[in-house]
């Protein structure tokens, strides 16, 4: 099914994943069009939830797919379908900033043609599907090394303030 779909020239296959290690989140999205990789985006963020990171990965993938001309179908493949469902949840929730951006991107996509469509496919990690396995591995291989590891703590900031006062 993926081979047939991804070989179509007006269909974008977006594979997303996110993982968190040591409070640093990594989100990756790969966009394939006509069975060729188009873009690979990798983002890192600190101190966010896994749901927020998954939504951000989906958001980046949709953005990359929708800016490509003549796209009529976007397929999002994720291991977090419950997160994708939050995009279309009209109730108030803490992830609405991401869903608003995603929905505005989709609004433009759907307004460009009545025949445009989007699908969400779930691909659990345990299936070890080749395209998903690659980005899953990439997201987990990242080992964050902060430039100033001690500077991310409140204690360091207070110590620096105290040292400055003593020096003055």
pLDDT in tens, 15-39: 888 888 777 788 888 888 877 777 8
Nearest to residue 66, comparing CAs of 114, 23, 117? Answer: 117
Instruction: For residue 130, give the CATH number of its domain.
Output: 3.30.420.10
Average pLDDT for the chain? 79
The total domain count for the chain is 1
In the predicted structure, residue 157 carries a pLDDT above the cut 70? no
Please give the residue range of the domain that contains residue 105.
2-167
How far apart (Å, rounded) are the C-alpha atoms in residues 86 and 51?
Answer: 9
pLDDT in tens, 112-129: 998 999 999 888 777 777
How far apart (Å, rounded) are the C-alpha atoms in residues 13 and 25?
Answer: 23
Which tokens is 139 given?
Answer: 């997201």
Nearest to residue 57, comparing CAs of 36, 38, 41, 81? Answer: 41
pLDDT in tens, 46-97: 788 888 888 888 888 898 888 888 889 999 988 888 888 888 887 767 778 8
Reduced to 3 states, what is the DSSP secondary structure of residue 104? helix
Instruction: Determine the pLDDT at residue 143.
Output: 62
Instruction: Determine the pLDDT at residue 132.
Output: 75
């Amino acid at each position: 099914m993926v081979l047939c779909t991804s070989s179509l020239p007006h269909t974008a296959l977006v594979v997303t994943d996110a993982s968190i290690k040591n409070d640093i989140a990594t989100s990756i999205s790969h966009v394939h069009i006509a069975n060729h990789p188009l873009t690979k985006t990798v983002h890192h963020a600190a101190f966010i939830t896994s749901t927020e990171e998954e939504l951000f990965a989906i958001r980046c993938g949709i953005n990359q797919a929708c800016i490509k001309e003549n796209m009529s179908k976007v397929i999002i493949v994720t291991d977090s379908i419950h997160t994708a469902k939050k995009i279309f949840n009209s109730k108030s929730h803490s992830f609405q900033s991401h869903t608003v951006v995603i929905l505005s991107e989709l609004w433009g996509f759907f307004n460009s043609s009545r025949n445009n469509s989007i699908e969400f496919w779930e691909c659990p990690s345990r299936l070890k599907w080749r395209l998903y396995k690659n980005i899953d591995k990439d997201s987990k291989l990242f080992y964050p090394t902060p430039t100033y590891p001690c500077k991310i703590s409140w204690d360091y900031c207070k110590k620096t303030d105290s040292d400055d006062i003593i020096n003055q």
